[in-house]
Amino acid sequence: MKPGGVIYLKTDSAEYYDFTLRIISENGFLLGYKTDDLYHSGTSEDVVNYQTYYENRWLGMGKKICYLRFSFQNTK
């Protein structure tokens, strides 16, 4: 990944979201934004304008979409 590159992660899995948050914290990565309910968070992040097939499917089933924006830039 390009230095300073950013990861945008959306998932319907609370376990994967929590795991990734732990990895970010343990490694001192730079967390830019987090929410455990993207579409009810009131965010102005552009990522709400794009939905994958599966994301749309999970939303239709009433599942929450978790979202993280982070960088591997180490802050430790």
Residue 76 has pLDDT above 60, yes or no: no
State residue 1's pLDDT score. 72
Q: Which residues contact 23 (CB under 8 A, 6 or more apart)?
A: 29
Pairing verdict, β 66-74 and 29-35:
antiparallel
Of all residues in the chain, the percent with pLDDT exceeding 70 is 96
pTM above 0.85, yes or no: yes
Residue 42 has pLDDT above 90, yes or no: yes
- Give the confidence band of 4 by pLDDT, cuts at 50, 70, 90: confident
Pick 68 or 45 by higher pLDDT.
68
